[in-house]
Structure 1
């Protein structure tokens, strides 16, 4: 492994060539020679030429077979990284100056294993957040606050996938990402942070490692449409079942709250729609968790073929 290479930045993308180019252009102006960029593109067409026109040194992987599976694209990127810190950025973010130095400053603290950077969406008032940032609460809900301003590192339970980073050694121990959060991939980022926590390692929010999130349109559907809500309930149930166990009070308190929230919708039609989405989403999640989780918490380390392969690659062990 190149001892001078500190940081690997991974960008996974799908049918958003223009946004990828914008993301890479910002990185080209920010990163120093101690960093590399790995792009995994699940698009039907190969965009290597366009990507390298912006950043000639980037490693570009064309993987159309991974379309629709963000976490599988993330794991593909892990097969190519060389840095000791591995960062993941969405293709529709733009890093601000100082992002790399802020990230490396956070990892200079030996106990820090994972970092969630600040992700600004351009929403009024988002720089202020009155709740604890990045927490999994006893009722199974999550707090966010990842656009909040601040000058100090904040300990968190989970982070945001648009701007998240990990020690290579921790990713090796975990065996990479769990790659079975389908559809919108909602909760795949929360999952890996909670697995870092289950190892007994520390995750922090670094408000100085800033990106601007300038959302691209979804290739399929729209953000917060019915499809998004269904996958959200399905994936959240699997997440809680893995984190706390199928028999946990946290999981079933959250399920109960979903049905109680039906009454808060405005108007009969909206309540009927929310009830239908809740029934289908919870039923789908129940089936998935019976397959993918256990009665007690699921161990954080992947113990399957992909996990073992990624563990070997990230540990630098020859095949």
Structure 2
């Protein structure tokens, strides 16, 4: 099998073959021949022939039973990777020139545990961001700025799932991703970065590891529709409760901000709609919090069966 690769690039996909093939096409010129590519495809149709026509060495896993569970697909990819740096790219991104070099340069600092790469959306002015990039604020909100263009890497709290990378050893320590952020899977990426921080790892934003995000349509619903907003509130509450505990002041502050935000909606009908979405989302989120969090922060390391399996797979010698 030869020497193990330093870098494994994982793409999880679901019913978006044309976007997957476009992404793989950018990897064809954006990665060296030693980099490993793993695709976990939850689509109903097996696309292995089309995938391998672009990059013959791809490890392709057809797993329709994982449909609708992005993070379970990420964990499936972890069972196959051989590199000591493991990257995840969304199927609707395209690598910019220099992505691999910029990423590996960030990991040359042995104190770095995880890297969020620059993710560009084609929005005018997005290269400038006045707030701190990738921070979890005391009121429970998150800053972004992952399209900004700084001169060097900066330390952050969390990154973006479209372009995120980890040391294999860190993912082994964590026992993989928590895979129970349903629906839109919002906050599953934030969750894993906060868990890296909780075990003492450093997370940095590396602007040189850049991709263009060319969004594909959602298979179910649309971005920022009511379903998206409801899952967003539900998953954000779970994230904060797991990170700080149900008793967390940060969680209470965030819930209060959501209620205050109702007044900023335009018009009476807009306020009524936002009130409905906010109340339903908070009630739904409260139920999820009491089922999936505890009074105090959850341990960052998974210790269930899946976590132990992934820890063993990622801790075994790399072939």
Structure 1: how far apart are the matches of 2:29 and 2:75? 26
Q: Give 1:151 shift.
A: 1.9
Structure 2: how far apart are the matches of 1:258 and 1:7? 41
Structure 2: how far apart are the matches of 1:225 and 1:127? 27
Structure 2: how far apart are the matches of 1:2 and 1:105? 24
RMSD: 1.1
Matched with 1:73 is 73
Q: Give 1:4 shift.
A: 4.3
Q: Give 1:3 shift.
A: 4.3
Q: Residue 88 of structure 2: SS of its match in structure 1? A: strand
Matched with 2:7 is 7
Extract unaligned runs of 5+ from structure 1: none
Matched with 1:312 is 312
Q: Structure 1 residues 6, 317: closer, same or farther in 2, change over 3 A?
A: closer
Structure 1: how far apart are the matches of 2:237 and 2:311? 27
Q: Structure 1 residues 72, 247: closer, same or farther in 2, change over 3 A?
A: same
Matched residue count: 318
1:117-158, CA deviations, whole angstroms, 9 ceiling, x for partnerless residues? 000000011000000000000000000000001120110000
Matched with 1:109 is 109
Structure 2: how far apart are the matches of 1:201 and 1:135? 15
Matched with 2:270 is 270
Matched with 2:200 is 200
Matched with 1:18 is 18
Q: Residue 8 of structure 1: SS of its match in structure 2? A: strand
Q: Residue 210 of structure 2: SS of its match in structure 1? A: strand
Matched with 2:143 is 143
Structure 1: how far apart are the matches of 2:78 and 2:294? 27
Q: Residue 246 of structure 1: SS of its match in structure 2? A: coil
1:236-286, CA deviations, whole angstroms, 9 ceiling, x for partnerless residues? 000000011000100011001100100000011111111111111111111
Structure 1: how far apart are the matches of 2:34 and 2:251? 43
Q: Give 1:219 shift.
A: 0.7
**For the Cα contact (< 8 Å) 2:4–2:82, is it kept in 1?**
no
Q: Give 1:2 shift.
A: 5.8
Q: Give 1:33 shift.
A: 2.5
Matched with 1:173 is 173
- Name the TM-score, length of structure 2 as normaliser: 0.98
Extract unaligned runs of 5+ from structure 2: none
**For the Cα contact (< 8 Å) 1:230–1:277, is it kept in 2?**
yes
Q: Give 1:189 shift.
A: 0.3
Structure 2: how far apart are the matches of 1:206 and 1:64? 34
**For the Cα contact (< 8 Å) 2:117–2:146, is it kept in 1?**
yes
Q: Give 1:317 shift.
A: 6.5
**For the Cα contact (< 8 Å) 1:2–1:82, is it kept in 2?**
no
Greater Cα shift, 28-37 or 247-256: 28-37
1:187-208, CA deviations, whole angstroms, 9 ceiling, x for partnerless residues? 0000000000000110000000
Structure 2: how far apart are the matches of 1:213 and 1:298? 33
Q: Does 1:100 align with 2:100?
A: yes
Structure 1: how far apart are the matches of 2:81 and 2:151? 30
Q: Structure 1 residues 107, 2: closer, same or farther in 2, change over 3 A?
A: farther
**For the Cα contact (< 8 Å) 2:7–2:87, is it kept in 1?**
yes
Structure 2: how far apart are the matches of 1:4 and 1:105? 19
